[in-house]
Amino acid sequence: MLVSGSRIGAYCFLDRVARPHLHLRAGKAFARPLLEWHNDQDVQIAHTGLVARDGKGVLFAGKSGSGKSTLSLACVCAGLDYLSDDYVSLQHRLDGSFAGHSLYNSVFLDTTHLECFTELFPHAIKGQPPQETKSVIILSHLFPDRLRREVRISALVLPRVGESSTPHLRPASKGEALLGLGPSSLLQIPNRGLGARGFGKLAQLVEQIPCYWLEVTSDLRSNASRVEDLLTALV
């Protein structure tokens, strides 16, 4: 049940009638009403990954399929703290900085990509093909000490597959960062007039933090190490 002002929403599903989608039954229960509730509170949801170390967080932005989930999972397996691979609640603090809040402790990724995480394969909840092409890993079962509820957002990274044999980090323009962050975040749910304000918040966030492209490789550990190096260098 969600309460928003004078409105109350109650949601349920009957497993005997129809088997719920993997997102609902295992990893991101009631995501849509939860996002609707945040909208009603004028809280912007970002469609990003978020990992952290020592209270400093790095957002992974990009359209679906850009590698946010794989990179987020690689980072938590390498010892970094985890907040999201998909949805982050953004808080604009009184000091002008932004905080990211975790909504779920699950990671969804294509079932075919599970072979990259052989140690996690036995713990994956696999979808039912052909409709469900992804599997979910519940991180609270595996890394409870690496889960964080809130961190200061210190940088934004746009992952994409590179041509080099080693992951390469280079600066991204503010326009590139906003293009990677904005569309998928603002179009997640109907915003009922909140779109302009939401876009303004995302633009303000991008303007105040360093933004980078990360050319990722098939070596997941090296990708995570590059993110860890970035977090170490951030003030």
Structure tokens at 134: 């992804």
What pLDDT sits at residue 195?
Answer: 62
> pLDDT for 36-68, tens place per residue?
777 777 788 899 999 999 999 999 998 877 889
pLDDT category of residue 2 using cuts at 50, 70 and 90: very low
> pLDDT for 139-162, tens place per residue?
998 999 999 999 999 999 999 988
Half-sphere exposure of 144 toward its Cβ, with a 13 Å CA cutoff?
1
What pLDDT sits at residue 165?
Answer: 85
Domain positions in the chain: 16-233
What pLDDT sits at residue 135?
Answer: 87
Structure tokens at 37: 């509730």
What pLDDT sits at residue 20?
Answer: 59
What pLDDT sits at residue 131?
Answer: 75
Would strands 150-161 and 98-102 be described as parallel, antiparallel, or unpaired?
A: antiparallel
Distances (CA, A) of 105 to 29, 80, 110, 147, 175: 11, 14, 17, 7, 30
Distance CA(21)–CA(235), nearest Å, equals 42
Distance CA(35)–CA(44), nearest Å, equals 9
Phi, psi for residue 119 in degrees, rounded to 5: -70, -20
Which residue has 């309460």 as its token pair?
3
Phi, psi for residue 187 in degrees, rounded to 5: -100, 10
Distance CA(71)–CA(155), nearest Å, equals 15
Higher pLDDT, 71 or 35: 71
Distance CA(18)–CA(128), nearest Å, equals 13
Work out the average pLDDT over 115-133: 83
Half-sphere exposure of 221 toward its Cβ, with a 13 Å CA cutoff?
1
CATH level 3 topology of 16-233: Rossmann fold (3.40.50)
Query: Integer distance in angstroms from the first to the last C-alpha of the chain?
Result: 40
Higher pLDDT, 215 or 17: 215
Q: What is the number of other CB atoms lying within 10 angstroms of the CB of residue 43?
A: 17
